[in-house]
Amino acid sequence: MTSFEEAETEETVTCLHMTFYHPCQDSKMMFHCLDFSKREQVQADEITKFGRDSSVCRYNLMDNRVSRVQFLLQFYRKLNSTQFSFEIKNMSKKTKLTVDETELGYLNKIDLPWRCIICFGDYQILAEIQEGESMDYFETHFHLSDLPILQERRLPSLQPIQERSISSFLPSHGKSPMELDENEPC
């Protein structure tokens, strides 16, 4: 046997890709502490914190409007499954965190969908989970977007749509919609 045949099978690693956007990212440099150039290994038992307090958080957002600990992520394996996932928990008392359309108040937590958008304040983060097999660690890989993620992904706007009166769509024959006979031409 060759050494290649005797080598252990390479284990794949779960990777959390996170694409960040803030409208003032060029002028305020809030992401300058994040490494966008490479993947980073994180131990599976580590609770990964994001916020402005560098003594507590692994990933720092340099903005005085961000909480000391804004949110945290915990890597886990689902019960009776080989599938790994992340749980996200809002740690800010002042700012709600939105995961897709689910709003999380202080200390609320949910499972992170395999692809979702996380929002708080003016921050937008696209999170995408690339599945792996390793139980010892996972990886993070950060990206920076030049465009708003909500705009770039062409997601529906959360703005209300103005209703139009039904009468603006009907010809004016002097009859209300209730008086129209289904056999009458419009």
The domain spans of the chain are 11-155
pLDDT mean across residues, the chain: 84
The kind and range of the H/E element at 179 are none
Burial category of 82 from C-beta neighbours within 10 Å (exposed 0-12, middle 13-18, buried 19 and up): exposed
What is the pLDDT confidence band of residue 128, given thresholds at 50, 70 and 90? very high
Which residues sit opposite 88 in a β-bridge? 73, 110
For 11-155, CATH number? 2.60.200.20
- Render pLDDT for 8-56 as a digit per residue (tens, 0 to 9): 667 899 999 999 999 999 899 999 999 999 999 999 999 999 999 999 9
Share of the chain above pLDDT 90, in %: 68
Residue whose structure tokens are 């956007």: 21
Would you list the DSSP string of 88-116?
Answer: EEE--SSS-EEETTEEE-TT-EEEPPSEE
Tell me the C-alpha to C-alpha distance, in Å, between residue 160 and each of 8, 97, 154. Answer: 56, 20, 16
- Render pLDDT for 64-94 as a digit per residue (tens, 0 to 9): 999 999 999 999 988 888 889 999 999 999 9
Q: What are phi and psi of 6, to 5 degrees?
A: -85, -15
At 1 the pLDDT is 54
